[in-house]
Structure 1
Amino acid sequence: LDNRIREVETKLRDAALMLPNMCDASVPVGADEDENVEQRKWGEPRQFNFDVQAHWDLGESLDILDFNRAGKMSGARFTVYKGL
């Protein structure tokens, strides 16, 4: 009986791991990130006396991120650090 219980628990766990995270009913449905709804803000955006760069551009200009190598290793939306 214990073996059967373990087997059923394993199957249940494996099946549960395949389920997507369920959003609360109040969460609006959107096709992509452009349709995200901002719920609240805190503070004001900082102003800088230089051109602000995205972290991926800054990392490449500092030669500390390698997107090309990461793409070959694992595909899109991944990077590797250089020189660590």
Structure 2
Amino acid sequence: MTTPTHARTPQITPTPKLHCACCGRPFTRSSGRGPAPLYCSADCRTQIRIRQRVWLNRPGYAASGTPNHWDARFETACAS
């Protein structure tokens, strides 16, 4: 007697809900390929680009080199 062979059935996992980094609304991925998107729509992507441009144009903010680092004036003021 031979053992029956079963076709391998793919495991379908539910797509996790992602939350938009701009507005916080939950959304699902449109495709499983590539990195997970951060924003739910093109409007949110545009809004984030506008916010980044405004923040980088603030006085003293862009002078520090990168937006992720404090200005040196703040570091010396806090250290003393």
Q: TM-score, normalised by structure 1?
A: 0.23
Structure number with the higher helix fraction is: 1
Q: TM-score, normalised by structure 2?
A: 0.24
